Structure 1
Amino acid sequence: MKTTILIAFLIISLTGFSQQLTYGSGGTVYNSENTKVTSDGVRQRLKNNKEALSLYNSGRSKKTWGNILFYSGLGLMATNVIVGMNTDNTTTSYPGNGNYPSVKSERTDMTAAIIGGAMIVASIPVKIGYPKKIKSALGLYNNSLTDHYKSQPRTILLASVNQIGFKIEF
């Protein structure tokens, strides 16, 4: 009987801690079985903890904006360089009798590449900051789990006309 109660107590206490979430690289979140949890699944689990949910949503939006800045800056730079390499900016004119042509070459406008580089540089602190918010949100959630799921067994003495016994509630 003692071993049955001990096993039941251990199983109940382990199920309380089995819902913890951990942070992986790239903003992925894993549960205690090391399976990936979708962002909607994480939001579903965090819906009761408003502070953790707002931190998680803030971290996810920072990740999204960092990716938008980085990849659009990379696209602007690549497009400008490719167009500049494949465009001929020379002008040929034949002044006078046309025997000696005058060739003028202009440099490629690199404004889009400069803007793209600035966007990439701006994305660096944004992409560095989002894991901290997601980790702190998961920490708040995991701490609230331990507060919520603390098993507090109660022992009650039961007595009737024919029997007497203890009732243990977890």
Structure 2
Amino acid sequence: MTKVFGGYIYLQNGNHMTLKDLEKKLASNQQTFDLIKTARLNNTIASIFEIAGGGLIGAPIGTTIAGGDANWALAGIGVGLIAIAIPIKLSSNKKANQAIELYNSSLNLTPFNKLKPELKLMANRNGLGLSINY
């Protein structure tokens, strides 16, 4: 997971993953699956509020540009919908990050900084060489 403007992007081996992809990937562990499923639901709800809010803000702006009499109350409602979407989106990001961290910790991967590589200079009848052992 990488933080970007407006949220996170999720990568596995350099490939972009959506929340739907993550849900499939994390299905093997019930706890991570429940977290990512909730994250995906929250993300969908937040997106609905964002789109509706954007439309309500855009309508009066478009009406004004076209020379009409705009209903600015709609823009206010749109701002309110976007304000509601923000904490829902943050909750979605938090749940997705928790699911990924839990899943990654269950893999028992050794972090690179904990590896103790040992470098040896070796010689045999074919010549000199380097050997790296972990």
- TM-score under structure 2 length normalisation: 0.66
* 2: CA distance, partners of 1:113 / 1:40: 32
Report matched runs for 1:37-48 at 5 Å: 37-48=17-28
Report matched runs for 1:90-109 at 5 Å: 108-109=70-71
1:84 is displaced (CA, Å) by 4.3
1:133 is displaced (CA, Å) by 0.6
> Where in structure 1 do 4 or more consecutive aligned residues deviate above 4 Å?
none
Report matched runs for 1:8-157 at 5 Å: 23-25=1-3, 26-31=7-12, 33-84=13-64, 86-87=67-68, 108-146=70-108
Unmatched segments (≥5 aa) in structure 2: 110-134
* 2: CA distance, partners of 1:64 / 1:112: 22
Give the strand-richer structure, 1 or 2. 2
* 2: CA distance, partners of 1:67 / 1:127: 8
Unmatched segments (≥5 aa) in structure 1: 1-22, 89-107, 148-170
Calculate the aligned-residue CA RMSD, in Å. Answer: 2.2
> Percent of pairs identical after alignment?
26
| Larger radius of gyration between Structure 1 and Structure 2 | 1
